[in-house]
Amino acid sequence: MLNIKNGIILVFVIAGFLLPISIKDRFLLHILINIFIWSILTLGIRLVLLAGPLNLAQASFMGMGAYTSGLLAMRLGWSFWLCMPAAGLVTALLAVGIGYPTLRIKGSYFVMVTFGLTEVFRHLWMMWSSLFGGPQGLLGIPRPAPIHLAGLTIAFNSKVPFFYLALILFLITVFVMHRIDLSRMGLTLRAIPQADLLAECVGVNIMGYKVAAFAIGSFFAGIAGSFWAHYFTYCSPWDFTFVASFYMLMYAVMGGMGTVLGPIIGCFIMLGLDELLRPFKEYMPIILGVILIGILLYLPGGIISVPERVRMLWNRRQS
């Protein structure tokens, strides 16, 4: 438990908690909040991708989480602290319902189905305006109610409480995803794309695992969506399109799929780059697309595989 790696992680976590005290720049906090939330979404897509299926509908699940949370708060007056887990649960159940018939569909066709799903959800949200608010979406979603903790009242009227909330959600997600990686489930998920028939013949219920991973990834998407809705106080169908899903996929692939660190680094670098290159906003998709294809062709392990690659090249040069 006590080693260098865990030490570094602890340092980062502590730094994260101390950050808002030292840095008052609201904009930086906003960027970090974005990075945390996108990391959650990206880790969700990665989990399912480990087992094979490429889920382009992750943004739609985020949207369902956002709409569910917003509607529960606005129509039923639920407290945010109930809305968020409820949103996660609803999204997970939705994922089970959708995943059960569709995950048995072969690879590339499944991708098409998820692509189609993003369009279906978008049309659904726009069509059913009485419930979802139509093309404008939901406006005026309430901020989380103030919490009273140890004599302090934390009101959600600045970026700082949202930052801490996002940080905590991020840490929980990373912890869960990492533990899954190390668990029997993680091993089994990784086994499926390598030899699914073999896995089945030693007792693995392939569909069960795929649906479970799909549900977990979607649960976190729902949570992230709920945060999104109450942070921005509005959500619209255009926030949750296939393009958003593709960004999540890109960050995962660019960072590196092997561990949970990859997608996180992918998000930090790419979203950071996004901010640095703000003047060139229109060119960003082109730049990202080119980097993505470059990585697919020449660096399939993603950015985190760079140290290993360098080490291998160095060893080769030595001998």
Question: Does the footprint of other proteins cover residue 180 (CB under 8 A)?
Answer: yes
Q: What gap in Å lies between CA 58 and CA 44, rounded to an integer?
A: 8
Select from 64, 138, 249, 260 the one that contacts other proteins (CB under 8 A). 249
Select from 112, 277, 306, 310 the one that contacts other proteins (CB under 8 A). 112
Question: Does the footprint of other proteins cover residue 18 (CB under 8 A)?
Answer: no
In the complex, the smallest distance separating the C-beta of residue 208 from other proteins, rounded to whole angstroms, is 9
Report the residue number, 106 or 148, with the smaller CB distance to other proteins: 106
Residue with tokens 């059960």: 100
Taking residues 24 to 63 in sequence order and writing x for each that binds other proteins by CB under 8 A, - otherwise, the string is -------------------------x--x-x---------
Question: Does the footprint of other proteins cover residue 79 (CB under 8 A)?
Answer: no
Report the residue number, 110 or 162, with the smaller CB distance to other proteins: 110
- Nearest by Cα to 255 from 53, 42, 57: 42
In the complex, the smallest distance separating the C-beta of residue 233 from other proteins, rounded to whole angstroms, is 26
Q: What gap in Å lies between CA 98 and CA 58, rounded to an integer?
A: 12
- Nearest by Cα to 55 from 2, 3, 98: 98
In the complex, the smallest distance separating the C-beta of residue 97 from other proteins, rounded to whole angstroms, is 13
Assigned token pair, 31: 């960027």
Only segment of 35-43, 228-236, 248-256, 302-310 that touches other proteins (CB under 8 A): 248-256
Question: Does the footprint of other proteins cover residue 107 (CB under 8 A)?
Answer: yes
Select from 82, 172, 187, 312 the one that contacts other proteins (CB under 8 A). 187
Q: What gap in Å lies between CA 62 and CA 44, rounded to an integer?
A: 10
Where along the sequence are the contacts to other proteins (CB under 8 A)?
49, 52, 54, 101-102, 104-109, 111-113, 115-117, 119-120, 123-124, 126-127, 176, 179-180, 183-185, 187-188, 190-191, 194-195, 197-206, 212, 242, 246, 249-250, 253, 282-286, 288-290, 292-293, 296-297, 300
